Amino acid sequence: MKHCSHCCYIVPPHILDRVLDQGNAKQKEWARNIIARSARLRGRRDAFASIGAALGVPAGTKRRTIYDSHNTETLPGDLVRGESQAPVKDSAVNEAFDGSGQTYDFYEQVFDRNSIDGRGMRLDSTVHYDQDFDNAFWDGRQMVYGDGGQFFQKFTASLDVIAHEMTHGVTGFESGLEYQGQSGALNESISDVFGSLVKQWVNKQTAANADWLIGEGIFINDAPGKALRSMKAPGTAYNDPDLGKDPQPAHMEHLYTGSQDHGGVHINSGIPNHAFYLTAIALGGFAWERAGKIWYEALPNIPPTANFQVAADIYYATAGALFQVGSTEQKAVADAFRQVGIQVSPRPQTAAVLPFEANQGTQVAALAATGTESRRDKERNSRRRKR
């Protein structure tokens, strides 16, 4: 497993910074508490990263376990529902159970992936974490959900939030994108992409009919915001006197270059988010069938320190490998990245793409001969032979 050494939160830190600067006394106290809790959780996440994949207990098949922290910081908490158990009275428990199951089903049915790690990792979730905890996160081995309270509603109510957090685990096992700068923004973007795709898949929505919003409806009723992020129109998801305005750029001309938010991981993710949206819209139909397949198959080839240019080149090469060089799909990827200010760098291509290897920051593409199986195809066919 390739690990990211940070807890991956759905609510970005720049919102907390804004509240500290512009909020009232109660809101500032809330923000300070969230920041302090996050610092403690980072230490926990780093410890998990050093232990490694042994923390993910393989179940071999879909196995969901939901825990309740009872508004404390205890993790995982008390077991309240397992895979074979019926729904309970607590809606947060049932939402976490259903959402993790729908995300598992998406990855299994669309990409033939067996859970987060590809080997049947158990899906652990904790609900009712801490008091007035306005966030949700992946901590390296499980999903954790707060109940909200100050600005947000309970996070289990949003399927794309659940799928977003689980996808951080997938990215950790497949690519290990470092949580800093453009590689961190790619990490966040990949979670947004597949968070949105899970929601579209469950609702049977085409790319044209999807809302392309992340965390839609998660704000409490009196908070003016439609979502945390918009892949269709980055920078327009919310605008609030206390929380500020959505700062996401949609083009490299407006790339954030400061140190806030680990170098803008939640901010600059708007650029690759928008590139995926443009690719999906250009191809039409169900976004997971072609655009999603390209992004998923490219993931193990993206090195941990990749920037947007490296990722764009890999997506472009993967589209050529999957759908033929010069195909509609490959042209859609190139055009989408051009529209966000990134010109792809074509390489000589054949029918399959082998993993890209990082060599002191230089990504080298090894291309297989026509008809050769990709690494992921070999793994998939091996699983099928064992069934």
Catalytic residue among 165, 216, 297, 329: 165
CATH of the domain at 164: 3.10.170.10
pLDDT, position 131: 87
| Long-range contacts from 249-257, C-beta under 8 angstroms, 24+ separation | 250/274, 250/340, 251/339, 251/340, 251/341, 252/308, 252/340, 252/341, 252/342, 253/341
C-alpha dihedral sign at 315, 321, 327, 329: negative
Of 204, 38, 57, which is closest to residue 129 (Cα–Cα)? 38
Q: Are 75 and 58 in a shared domain?
A: yes
Q: Are 157 and 258 in a shared domain?
A: no
The yes-or-no answer on residue 266 being catalytic is yes
pLDDT, position 45: 46
pLDDT, position 149: 78
Q: Are 240 and 381 in a shared domain?
A: yes
Catalytic residue among 262, 266, 274, 297: 266
What is the domain range of residue 156? 1-174
Q: Are 243 and 212 in a shared domain?
A: yes
Q: Are 287 and 385 in a shared domain?
A: yes
Q: Are 187 and 304 in a shared domain?
A: yes
pLDDT, position 223: 59
Q: Are 56 and 96 in a shared domain?
A: yes
CATH of the domain at 319: 1.10.390.10
- Sequence-separated (6 or more) residues with CB below 8 Å from residue 206: 200, 284, 285, 286, 287
Q: Are 199 and 262 in a shared domain?
A: yes
Rounded to whole angstroms, the Cα distance separating 237 from 216 reads: 9
CA angle (260 as vertex; 256, 261 as ends), nearest 5: 95
Q: Provide the number of structural domains found in the chain.
A: 2
Percent of residues, the chain, with pLDDT higher than 90: 63
The yes-or-no answer on residue 165 being catalytic is yes
**Is this structure's pTM higher than 0.95?**
no
| Boundary residue ending a domain (121, 152, 174) | 174
| Boundary residue ending a domain (174, 209, 241) | 174
pLDDT, position 240: 82
Rounded to whole angstroms, the Cα distance separating 366 from 72 reads: 50
Q: Are 46 and 136 in a shared domain?
A: yes
pLDDT, position 351: 35
Q: What is the pLDDT of residues 142-173, one digit of tens each?
A: 999 999 877 888 999 999 999 999 999 999 99
**Spans in the chain with pLDDT lower than 50:** 1-5, 45-56, 348-375, 384-387
Q: Are 225 and 128 in a shared domain?
A: no
